[in-house]
Amino acid sequence: MIETSEIECVAGRGIRGDRYFDFKDDYKGQITFFSMEVFDELCNAMQLQGCSPALARRNVITRGVDLNDLIGQEFEVQGGRFLGMEECRPCYWMDGAFAPGAQEFLKGRGGLRAKILTDGSLHLTAHVLAATQ
């Protein structure tokens, strides 16, 4: 993971420079979102300190958004349009990245997989941290 202050979103293709850029036609995970609130809860529950949300391997870290509410919905972030596709389900890898039990803890709140509907850039703000994979 490389933490960055800006990512370039390309409609229908993904994030320029991401390992899933042009992965396959109509890919559901052109961009992924993860909640900072869920990350904080995970750290508290697992008694983790000094971890980065980049360990979740999601592209954009959000605050103040229920990502599951965006499944099946079009939404806008910093002028860019996205379509929420499905939960970005946690896998066994989370237990190694964070701590044993992280995968189970994150079930139902592992983030959001989305399609990019418009070209544009997302910039680091007080509400969004961008991390490309």
All domains of the chain in start order, with CATH: 2-132 (2.40.33.20)
Angle made by CA atoms 122, 30, 68, in degrees to the nearest 5: 85
Average pLDDT in the 89-109 region? 94
pTM over 0.75: yes
Quote the pLDDT of residue 126: 45
Quote the pLDDT of residue 129: 42
Quote the pLDDT of residue 2: 77
Q: What is the mean pLDDT of the chain?
A: 91
Both tokens assigned to 44: 């508290």
Q: How far apart are CA 32 and CA 82, in angstroms?
A: 10
